[in-house]
A and B are shown apart, each in its own frame.
Chain A
């Protein structure tokens, strides 16, 4: 099925240029016409048609026909626009009570165009040519969707400067999103997520019960099939008017709408396979002779110390051995349908989908059902309404892994070197628990989520428009964890069984009202003035319950008989904001705008009032100037922007308070208090200021495009969870505005279309970005240790969350070449970035036989960073089962770092270079031509897509995977610690259109 890129519905287009002083005439006329493709004369649907300088317009139906009502009599200009085609304008004279005709034939153009419309913070639409910043648009073509393991991966390697850090390959677990590096040391670095004009929850770590490290992300509740477009505003220069919480950028998502014309039905089904392909290392052990005793445990330090002589080296890999592996081939089944259609006045989109995935563990699955109903209606000539509603029911089962004794990988990678070691509870080489026990570790999450938005536009005058948005994002969740009695013999608690069940509700509510005045003071000038007010509320509450010693066969707190635990949580954060902005345009090629937003929040300190965020932008399409030389270079646009945004502290961060706690006194439980927080009354939001500049080129009739962007972003008064000296006798940290962080970088996006014929088409897309992050200032505090062992720190003059350690400076070997000892420096030094600095992606798309066959791929490079191979550090330093501590044939480097860990707890040798190239996606689509579909299958189109995900990786990293993170969506903590690497996926999908 060919995806037709859409401009936004006319309701949100913000282009009007009425004659000065124009008044609405009493009688009006009508304009109608047909839009066809130049050359083929084929009718073009979904073309936006507008009377220039007014808010009057329409969209062509499947026959290419449009009809505009309520046009003021007189000579007017009619403009047509559609992505992939050249815009065109034509004059026509309209008489009162009569119908004028304006037909168009427009030629094809490159996909990137200045006429694309982007939704702004005020809910208005703005063309790309008017924007001073780079806006990344992510295309979710039907070909790509089957390859995606989750919605967040749709953003991966699609936009320069946007990186999706996938934490693990466990189905149902989320990822972190970073745009242009990390701004904040202690607050979230996730971007703001907006769907159909309302803010929604997109956060990770969405789980109240720990399973060792991983957690779902609410962003992955979204169904890619429902998405029309995704735009990424990368920083305050673009997102400043979104206010507090937008400092990390904004991901703006628009769901599908119906359009005028014949109703389109789509049915699809997909079947997929997932495989675990990690290179888990085996566990090593060695036996030797000591003082006449055989079978003495004889590791290399013992050999080097002359304590024993090795006689046998053994190894066993419980994770890979077919007798003991916990893995299976996972499977995924997806069934869905949608219908889209409408008239000139009403458009609708309805969809439903079920998605069932069984992960590579028997205790891992995701079952999701998603429904959507969107309605667009022109209730009158002056007013239209958009309603979008979505519902998701998500049931996730997660296994234990990462930092838990109840994880498959933790028990396997830290297991025994022999399958029959008596320390293995299940006799399978795991230490101590194997799958026979761990399969009873039951972790579930049920999420029920409703997202709804109501947008209304009212145009009482030709130059004045009002827009209102109200929205809700409500998630109800049940998180449970249960161990049945007698199944997991780890300790007394697990043996007796327990259950935790937590019910949580989280709601995000948005209300916004905007007024926009557009007019043309002169023929060459246009003016747009906008004022907007916004109210946002985030509210969450939860009730937590747990009990121990379960009655066998129960799956309820009612089955617990002792040690009941209860708790309750409540949070409410509110924000009130106002926006004022002014844009001036000259001859539709030079645009200058400035604006300011003021925010006040319930989370600001009592001594702090309103924060103001100014913005300014400029864009100049130089190539449209008369003096610009004509030639292969068709477009040159210069752009620049400045913006300020911020992050607010948490609801209670500015307060000094006590927590209620119980205390046993004289045999009775009494109400007591314990210090809960010592807030800074001067606490204010951290403010991020960004300057961005760039240039866009298009050449050879848009067969080659290039966007270059440079940015400098600085966060002042950064909110830092500053460590309080323990001697004060209160809590460990307090938020204070004591930091300054800088991100600088460069981005490039290049597209090439070397072949563009009906027989063969080839599109090549290259994305590149480079980021430098630095903590400029960290006042009144020592370096902040992020991890317990200091392997990651926030330190002034270095990147946030960098790796620190004491590298080995000297290796001492014995006569046999076995490492006896190592030396290293006293003071830790900076070892490297913990998150990628350089991103590069290559995305080729080949189409054959007039789009009947399409091949796409995505190759993704990330570099300039390191990964802490904490698994191997643990296996060498604690369990003494790594190769470097056992096998004399291991390299000197392996032995040295193993000895450093074993003897001194020195981990520096395990902070490894993590650069990688990953073959992330490959898709192959066969589409039956429409005429053949109609003739033989009575359908409008049939397509088959074969897709693969995570097909290979090239890296020097010696651990399981350079991308995984045992701390899931932690802000900065990054390590590969007993974690599940991304799995390999294959899928086949059939789409049928009626």
Chain B
């Protein structure tokens, strides 16, 4: 049977991997090429490569870095950040991306998901959504978590999936960077309303957090994290061995 996926996320700014706590205080960690290569050969099931500042200042991804990552990485690669048009899809797919992740660009132009899916197929279009509780309601935030759109997150996810998004990355701003575990209640709700793969993001601080994720939300497909992998706090191999020991199916 299909395995649960473990996905390191490479947030990139100025050609370097960074990881913010609650999206602020960015800190340089390492080269995206070296990290990508390392993860590709050490058990990562997939890589997500975001230009985290692109949607706020309109800067394009550094395609040279992306191309080099793709040249050395033989696992699926999802690319996001600054994807606002079909031309942006073309640009990153030509650089070797397998899937394109849309976030603020889809909020600005909800047809982007539909056009992307029509041109490249649903399997190519990943909806990435930054969610925060506002007044007890799950709300979509744009521009790297800085702007409250007022949009209901669950309605938004349902709408984008029916428009053709083939996967959903749910990033909880409330748990991101806190390292106390994934946002289980939010993820359960999302898994209940869509029938495409759902990837949990935001909050992983330990191996136990992944065990809790896959136990509490059996229909979740993948867990995504950045800093715990980049700083060597958790090795993907150890994590997978522990998951196997808990009868959670991993590669």
A and B associate in one complex? no
Q: A residues bordering B, Cβ < 8 Å? A: none
